[in-house]
Amino acid sequence: MKGEISEKILGAIIDCGMATTSVVIDAFFDYHNRGRRRSSKVIQARIMPDAKERNRVRAVIYKLKNEGCLQAIDQEWKVTKLGLEKFKKLLAVSSNRLPDANYEIVKAGEVTIIIFDIPEDSSHKRQWLRSALKNLKFFMLQRSVWVGRVRIPAEFLEDIKNLNLQDYVQIISLDKLNSFTRLTESR
């Protein structure tokens, strides 16, 4: 998303105080990975960023310098007042972002049915939910009814709660024929 790299660079420099470009890049990738769910593939992919990513971060650092958000003092970067204001604005914007729609997939014996009716003014949240369900290997019976044999991750339920969707989403687990448990009530 627009401004995400700038936000993470400014946050990394604020965490470090003052830092050289290489320290900022390393701190950026640490700061960047903080909010991510940790799967072994994500950790392995993010430990050593490739040259293209490092160059992209370096370019944003110099863009921030030209905008007056960063100041170079003895080959180290410092966040200016303007940079601090920009960081606060970017942080406010990022708080409205949707969570990552990728979760760890764990197969389950029971069938899980997810039914939702999310209001039209929250259509972006509805699209996020559909994307998350696809990534969890659920299949669509109807646009708002999804079925799968996957254990529902706790992070997924937490994200539904954080997005204030718990009143619009019903999760039902069919563990035996003619028997079901509502996961949204039991957790």
CA–CA distances in Å: residue 123 to residues 18, 49, 78, 112, 130: 42, 34, 40, 23, 11
Share above pLDDT 90 across residues of the chain, in percent, rounded to a whole number: 25
CB atoms within 10 A of CB 101: 17
pLDDT confidence of residue 110: 87
- Point out which residues pair with 148 in neighbouring strands: 112
pLDDT in tens, 22-53: 777 766 666 555 544 443 343 334 444 677 87
The overall average pLDDT reported for the chain is 79
Sequence-ordered alpha helix ranges (H) in the chain: 4-16, 21-34, 40-47, 51-66, 81-94, 123-135, 154-162, 183-186
Contact 144, 116 (CB under 8 A): yes
CA–CA distances in Å: residue 37 to residues 6, 102, 186: 21, 9, 24
List Cβ neighbours of 9 (8 Å cut-off, separation of 6 or more).
24, 28, 57, 60, 61, 64
Query: Which of the two residues, 116 and 25, has the higher pLDDT score?
Result: 116
At 118, the pLDDT band (50, 70, 90 cuts) reads very high
pLDDT confidence of residue 114: 94
CA–CA distances in Å: residue 31 to residues 15, 54, 86, 174: 9, 14, 17, 41
pLDDT confidence of residue 170: 94
CA 145 centroid distance within chain: 24
Cα separation of 32 and 13, whole Å? 12
At 165, the pLDDT band (50, 70, 90 cuts) reads very high
- CATH 3.30.70.240 residue spans of the chain: 107-186
pLDDT confidence of residue 45: 40
Question: Average pLDDT of 86-91?
Answer: 84
Question: Average pLDDT of 96-122?
Answer: 86
Cα separation of 150 and 154, whole Å? 12
Contact 41, 51 (CB under 8 A): no
- CATH 1.10.10.10 residue spans of the chain: 4-94
CA–CA distances in Å: residue 131 to residues 40, 99, 126, 127, 177: 22, 11, 9, 6, 29
Question: Average pLDDT of 90-104?
Answer: 77
Question: Average pLDDT of 120-129?
Answer: 88
Fold classification of 4-94 (topology level):
Arc Repressor Mutant, subunit A (1.10.10)
Query: Which of the two residues, 110 and 9, has the higher pLDDT score?
Result: 110
Q: Please say if the pLDDT value at position 63 is more than 70.
A: yes
CATH architecture for segment(s) 107-186: 2-Layer Sandwich (3.30)
pLDDT confidence of residue 41: 40
CA 51 centroid distance within chain: 23
